[in-house]
Amino acid sequence: MSVAQLSTEDNNSEPKRAKIEIPLVLGFSAEDKIRTIQPHNDALVITLRIGGYDVKRVLVDQGSAVEIMYPDLYKGLNLKPEDLTAYDSPLVSFEGKTVTLRGQIRLPIQTGLDVVEVDFIVVDAYSPYTAIVARPWLHALETVSSTLHQKVKYLSNG
């Protein structure tokens, strides 16, 4: 919370200070578009620290309900089949085809000083991305993302 101080004066005393709490609003402005090429239709692709490693080409997908991990990241993190737990629900690709699932794994995602544990569904499919983070991660961190501004914002302790 941000605090503004107002000064009021009596006739016979020193100025008094009144504290008024002004809530912070998490949003985007025209300034947030600086250093992005406009207009564009780009997806929001970021770098995140997943499982202790900086992982590039992570797609932020507000329309997805599950976090996905692709084979490149699975191999890059040196994960083994015994690290996975079963995941029974079917997963359908963008093309409408059922995707082959390897299993599920819970890994930490560090953003600044904040760490959120995320359940990734490990799939056996090609993607130009290493992973997809979705609504569960966005909501756990209380983030707001914008493809227009090519940014993810969240409140942090400091």
CA atoms of 62 and 137, how far apart (whole Å): 10
The CATH number for 64's domain is 2.40.70.10
Cβ count within 10 A of residue 50: 23
Residue 2 within any structural domain of the chain = no
Residue 20 within any structural domain of the chain = no
Domain count of the fold of the chain: 1
List the domain range (segments joined by +) for residue 118: 31-154
Name the residue among 137, 139, 155 with its Cα closest to residue 46: 137
pLDDT tens for each residue of 16-63: 777 777 667 778 888 888 888 888 888 999 999 999 999 999 999 998
Which of the four pLDDT bands, split at 50, 70 and 90, describes residue 98? confident
Residue 86 within any structural domain of the chain = yes
Residue 24 within any structural domain of the chain = no
Model pLDDT, residue 106: 97
